[in-house]
Structure 1
Amino acid sequence: MKTLHERFLRSSLSKRLTLEEVSQHLIEVYQAKLIGKEAVEEMKEDPCVRFDQIRACFSIPEEVVHQLRSASENIEAEESIKLIFQWVSLSAEDKEQIIQGEKSIKIVLESADRRYIDNFTIQGGSEKLLKKMIYLQGINPSNYTLENEDYVLYLQLLNEKGLI
């Protein structure tokens, strides 16, 4: 692990990306569309989300989502949609809203200082996107220590992706 730490410190990856840079990346690479906080209003009830610190919300279109998901993730989403159609207690409108949620991915970025991402939430599954977001969020330089579990996991992710 010490070797990964040293390679990371010597790399250009130790420069943390800003909220603006991450937002631009999501737009350019994933065709993400900026959406209002009202689209994730239900997150006000989530104790893990600091709703007042949400700085950007994005929606990734269905055709990109399909490419981001693994084959098993796509099959799981299709099975969920089939189950939703079977729910007799839901109105057609509610079913359509839930199905659209299964077909898209929303990304919510939080920042206390309005410069760097402190936390993110992904609504909709994609292991590939989760790993990319961990990389894009980065780690605060003050936490570059092998005693920090998040930093160690970050180094492992970078190594897994062949970046260090």
Structure 2
Amino acid sequence: MENSLHERYLKSRLPNRFPVAQVCRILTDKFRAEEMDKSWFADLKKDPLVHYERIAKCFKIVDNSVLQSLFSPEERKMHRDSAVSFRNDRLHGERERIWRDIQEGKRLHVVLETVDGESLSGFTLQGISQKLLAELVVLQGIDPARAIPGTPPYERYLQFAAEAGYL
């Protein structure tokens, strides 16, 4: 199967890197994402896997029909379980409400990073959606030096590209 995915990848002419502007258009058009202010994500400065200074754009996805299309049955069950477990908790402020919305599947956040100011080099997804994760991995692209058939990073990339409908 991997070999056929590799062949489909070669025929697809997927770019190795996507420009941040194109990624933003895909997020807003395909997922009705809305831009958020980077300052809302200031807590990411403490995350060792995030390069806060490289953050180019931040988005939220709150459209219920889009969210439902992004979640698998297992993810929806996790959201329902979260809603039940938090049912009697009191919320203390806007940030707590937003984090609860993420845990209950009412919201997703996407933070885009760029090293060169042009192309997507990394991302942070707040919330759980395998479908959106696959899309973001494809949009992040793959270094041609790592696009070697049979290697785990490349096979994982190909699998995500197939899941996201690019192959």
Range class of TM-score, shorter chain: 0.7 to 0.9
Cα distance per residue 1:7-56 (max 9 Å; x no partner):
42333224532111111000001100010112222211111111111111
The one-letter amino acid of 1:58's match is: F
Structure 2 residue runs without a partner (length 5+) = none
RMSD of aligned alpha carbons: 2.4
Secondary structure at the aligned position of 1:145 is classed as: coil
TM-score (norm 1): 0.83
Counterpart among 77, 80, 85 of residue 79 in structure 2:
77
Structure with greater helix share of residues: 1
Structure 1 residue runs without a partner (length 5+) = none
Count of matched residue pairs: 162
* Residues 1:139 and 2:142 aligned together: yes
Secondary structure at the aligned position of 2:87 is classed as: helix
**Shift in Å at residue 79 of structure 1?**
1.8
Distance (whole Å) between structure 1 residues aligned to residue 11 and residue 96 of structure 2: 51
Greater shift in the superposed pair: 22-31 or 59-68: 59-68
Partner of 2:33: 32
Structure 1: which 4+ aligned runs deviate by more than 6 Å?
Answer: none
Q: Percent identity?
A: 30
TM-score (norm 2): 0.82
Greater shift in the superposed pair: 30-39 or 152-161: 152-161
The one-letter amino acid of 1:157's match is: F
Distance (whole Å) between structure 2 residues aligned to residue 4 and residue 66 of structure 1: 28
